[in-house]
């Protein structure tokens, strides 16, 4: 009897074959250039970080390749509707996806009826990582994660936290914090970051788990009190705000959540196209003006090879799967 393979082993094997074929020599990669309009698909509405990074990359590619490069926003279903359509596109280099944790890591575990799989996508490179941030309304007598833990231990279920929506990265940041600490705090989901922020600013919900922006400007104006960022390192835009790990190392020593924004192609894309796009992403992220812009976003560059990006995505899928399983979260794409 042949030994069975785990889902992760199957996916890793698929990726190894696909990505090995996607690393030709530099000379081969330099030979590929588009000869018609290139489309960058954004699985979200205009104005968010995914959209911002896609438009900056589109400008770079248009200049580098000398071909018109357009951005198309296709929101809905937490990004899964656009991704479902994308995996059916030709792997010819003319359709590029800019993804994020929602449709590319969280969706695989949270949606019952998801119509695509990780192995249908070919990771090219991540571009940036941004922390989430935990904040409190100034009226709440909590000034640190240590204070929050102590408060919840002394008064279980006495607080609630807002997020931009069920199953999104900030929500799961809060869920994982509570799982690791063994504490309880009611989750209050909103339809987007704006409504969640408004509710906390108005004192309707005391704690907020959110992306770094738009919360950080409210922290600077004194309308929110920052407790911690969710990455392993402090953020250069807010160096005074500690990380979750350093705030409670005995409880949160393995804690790390970031919002990330990377580039994908359809799985059957030939190696020279993948390599050419990967090279341009590296050049894009190394530009001094882009480094400054990324810093302004509170992010850090995170270039990598296709194989490195695939490995990172697998770790993200596994991490969020564990959180979602413990939360017993299941949803349908609608």
Tens-digit pLDDT profile for residues 106-134? 999 999 999 999 999 999 999 999 999 99
Backbone angles phi, psi at 240, to 5 degrees: -80, -15
Domain-wise residue ranges, the chain = 7-130+258-327, 132-252
Does the structure show a pLDDT above 50 at 25? Answer: no
pLDDT of residue 31: 79
CA angle 74, 79, 81 (to 5 degrees): 70
Domains 7-130+258-327 and 132-252 in one fold: yes
Distance CA 25, CA 271 (A): 9
Judge contact between 171 and 196, C-beta under 8 A.
no
pLDDT of residue 30: 56
pLDDT of residue 191: 80
Q: Where are the alpha helices (DSSP H) in 155-259?
A: 169-181, 193-201, 212-220, 244-247, 249-252
Does the structure show a pLDDT above 90 at 174? Answer: yes
Does the structure show a pLDDT above 60 at 28? Answer: no
Distance CA 324, CA 318 (A): 10
Other residues' Cβ atoms within 10 Å of the Cβ of residue 141: 8
Mean pLDDT of the chain: 90
pTM of the model: 0.86
Average pLDDT of span 296-314: 95
Q: What is the CA 209 to chain-centroid distance, rounded?
A: 15
pLDDT of residue 148: 97
The CA distances from residue 49 to 111, 127, 174, 221, 246, in Å, are 23, 11, 21, 22, 27
Does the structure show a pLDDT above 90 at 27? Answer: no
Cβ burial, residue 232 (10 Å; 0-12/13-18/19+)? middle
Other residues' Cβ atoms within 10 Å of the Cβ of residue 22: 26
pLDDT of residue 157: 84
The per-residue pLDDT for range 215-262, each reduced to its tens digit, is 999 999 999 999 999 999 999 999 999 999 999 999 999 999 999 999
Confidence of residue 19 (pLDDT cuts 50, 70, 90): low
Other residues' Cβ atoms within 10 Å of the Cβ of residue 76: 13
Task: Let me know how long the chain is.
Answer: 334
pLDDT of residue 77: 85
In 3D space, the residue among 106, 29, 25 whose CA is nearest the CA of residue 269 turns out to be 29
Highest mean pLDDT out of 8-12, 161-165, 313-317:
313-317
Average pLDDT of span 264-269: 97
Average pLDDT of span 69-95: 94
Average pLDDT of span 286-302: 94
Q: State the residue for tokens 């279980």.
A: 156
pLDDT of residue 9: 42
pLDDT of residue 2: 34
Q: State the residue for tokens 């992403």.
A: 281
Q: For the chain, percent helix, then strand, then coil, each to nearest 5?
A: 45, 20, 35
Confidence of residue 334 (pLDDT cuts 50, 70, 90): confident
In CATH, what is the architecture of 132-252?
3-Layer(aba) Sandwich (3.40)
In CATH, what is the architecture of 7-130+258-327?
3-Layer(aba) Sandwich (3.40)
């Amino acid at each position: 009897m042949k030994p069975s393979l785990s889902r992760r082993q199957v996916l890793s094997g698929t990726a190894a074959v696909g990505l090995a074929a996607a690393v030709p020599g530099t000379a081969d990669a330099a030979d590929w250039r588009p000869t018609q309009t290139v489309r960058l698909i954004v699985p979200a509405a205009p104005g968010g970080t995914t959209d911002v990074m896609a438009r900056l990359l589109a400008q770079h590619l248009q200049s580098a390749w000398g071909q018109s490069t357009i951005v198309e926003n296709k929101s809905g279903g937490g990004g899964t509707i656009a991704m479902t359509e994308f995996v059916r596109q030709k792997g010819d280099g003319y359709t590029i996806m800019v993804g994020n944790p929602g449709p590319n890591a969280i969706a695989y575990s949270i949606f019952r009826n998801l119509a695509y799989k990780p192995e249908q996508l070919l990771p090219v490179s991540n571009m940036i990582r941004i922390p989430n941030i935990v904040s409190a309304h100034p009226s709440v007598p909590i000034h640190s994660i240590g204070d929050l833990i102590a408060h919840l231990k002394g008064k279980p279920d006495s607080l609630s936290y807002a997020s931009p929506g069920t199953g999104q990265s900030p929500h799961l940041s809060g869920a994982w914090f509570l799982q690791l600490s063994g504490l309880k705090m009611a989750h209050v989901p909103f339809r987007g970051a704006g409504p969640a922020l408004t509710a906390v600013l108005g004192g309707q919900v005391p704690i907020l788990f959110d992306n770094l922006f738009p919360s950080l400007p409210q922290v600077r104006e004194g309308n929110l009190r920052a407790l911690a960022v969710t990455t392993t390192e402090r953020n250069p835009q807010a160096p005074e705000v500690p990380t979750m790990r350093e705030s409670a190392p005995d409880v949160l020593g393995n804690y790390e959540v970031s919002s990330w924004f990377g580039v994908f192609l359809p799985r059957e894309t030939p190696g020279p196209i993948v390599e050419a796009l990967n090279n341009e992403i590296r050049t894009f992220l190394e530009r001094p003006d882009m480094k400054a812009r990324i810093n302004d976003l509170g992010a850090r560059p995170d270039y990598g090879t296709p194989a490195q990006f695939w490995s990172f995505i697998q770790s993200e899928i596994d991490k969020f799967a564990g959180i979602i399983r413990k939360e017993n979260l299941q949803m349908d794409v609608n």
